[in-house]
Amino acid sequence: MSQRRKFLKQSLLGSALFIPGITQACAQGSKENLPGEKPLILSTWNHGLPANEAAFKKLQETGDIVDAVEAGVKDTELDLNNLSVGLQGLPDREGITTLDASIMKGDGSCGSVAFVRQVKHPISLARAVMEKTPHVMLAGEGARQFAIQEGFPMEEEKLSPKAQKAYDEWKKTSQYKPVINIENHDTIGMIGMDASGNLAGSCTTSGLAYKMHGRVGDSPIIGAGLYVDNEVGAATATGLGESIIRICGSFLIVELMRQGRTPQEACEEAVKRLIAKNQQDIKDIQAGFLAINKEGHIGAYAVHPGFNFAQGTLKGNILIDSKSHF
Ligand code: ASP
């Protein structure tokens, strides 16, 4: 059974919340064949399937879409098999895992943490920055201190066995080059809308494997890895953060939707823009975007094939292959 089918099956069996029902055609992004379902949650990559389930469960419990997008990606932050989200993620080139995360509500409230160590749930720390401080972003040691002060669960600084093994292997050559594949670019970005049309989003990652110490990607940069506006829609990104930051990718998509583009058209335009601004290296750059608008229409598009995403509604939770430019 292919990975995609396996995940679909597991997901549908794994939750009483979802029943099958959405067809592959729903994902193609044109206005005509979209579900327009609310509530609706989209997440990047196949880890989005269990994350969507966790998000829907929380939405049922509290009715709050911010709680839902936080709970959804927390599930991924704990997934020991995931080498690009959470403390089990691949380290930087000094052998230290550093995390980036952001969260945003449709009213413009947002919070993020960057280059933070030892924090088990960076997404919850980002939420605490949003709700408990006058700031939007905390980085590095300051973010870690804030986590300690707030009583967040912390972990000893030790690589997971899988990450240690991969790092030891990498050290044999110590070559860093961004590579197009799922393993090295695997952030979870989640955007969701409740039944009343309120939007929220979350994004969390350990960033690029073997990055320079101190490197921060797009995920904690509001407007790059995530942007949400209740008047228009929401967008999130995954892939090479540098290429996404250069075009303010998620903000760009929301603004294009504000000007009348469909989510699909907006994602495609953002990918075109990204390619134009990163032409020299584009063969080695993967990036993918997800978007939803107020009507519950969706968009997804990537630079290269291989990007997929999970779409969850009350009717089902399915993994969909995104279209791509190349
Ligand atoms: N966007 C993330 C970053 O550049 C990487 C990823 O999507 O996996 O840090």
Q: Where are the domains of the chain?
A: 51-321
51-321 belongs to which CATH class? alpha beta
Percent with pLDDT over 70 in the chain: 86
What does R_g of the chain's alpha carbons equal in angstroms? 18
- Strands 233-239, 226-229: pairing is antiparallel
pLDDT tens digits, 9-48? 333 333 434 433 333 333 444 343 355 789 999 999 999 9
Query: What's the full length of the chain, in residues?
Result: 326
Catalytically active residues, by annotation: 187
DSSP bridge partners of 105:
200
For 224-289, what is the HEC assignment? Answer: CCEEEECCCEEEEEEECHHHHHCCCHHHHHHHHHHCCCCHHHHHHHHHHHHHHHCHHHHHHCCEEE
Out of 99, 180, 185, 284, mutate this one to test ligand 1's pocket (max ligand atoms within 8 Å of CB): namely 185
Atom of ligand 1 nearest to the CA of 207: 9
Whole-number Å distance, alpha carbon 184 to ligand 1 midpoint, is 8
Atom of ligand 1 nearest to the CA of 287: 7
32 vs 287, residue with greater confidence: 287
Whole-number Å distance, alpha carbon 61 to ligand 1 midpoint, is 31
Q: Which residues contact 1 (CB under 8 A, 6 or more apart)?
A: 9
DSSP bridge partners of 299:
291
Distance between CA 182 and CA 307 in Å, rounded? 8
Whole-number Å distance, alpha carbon 274 to ligand 1 midpoint, is 15
Least confident of 162-166, 170-174, 176-180, 211-215: 176-180
Reported pTM? 0.90
Of all protein residues, whose CA lies closest to atom 8 belonging to ligand 1? 185
Whole-number Å distance, alpha carbon 18 to ligand 1 midpoint, is 29
Name every protein residue with a CB atom under 6 angstroms from any ligand 1 atom: 84, 185-187, 205, 207-208, 217-219, 238-241
Q: For residue 54, give the amino acid letter.
A: A
- Which phi-psi region, left, alpha or beta, contains residue 248 (left: φ > 0; alpha: ψ -120 to 50)? left
Distance between CA 220 and CA 212 in Å, rounded? 17
DSSP secondary structure, 163-216, as one string: HHHHHHHHHTT-------STTTS--EEEEEE-TT--EEEEEEE--STTPPTT--
Place of tokens 């997929």: 308
pLDDT tens digits, 52-104? 999 999 999 999 999 999 999 999 999 988 899 999 999 999 999 999 999 99
Atom of ligand 1 nearest to the CA of 211: 9
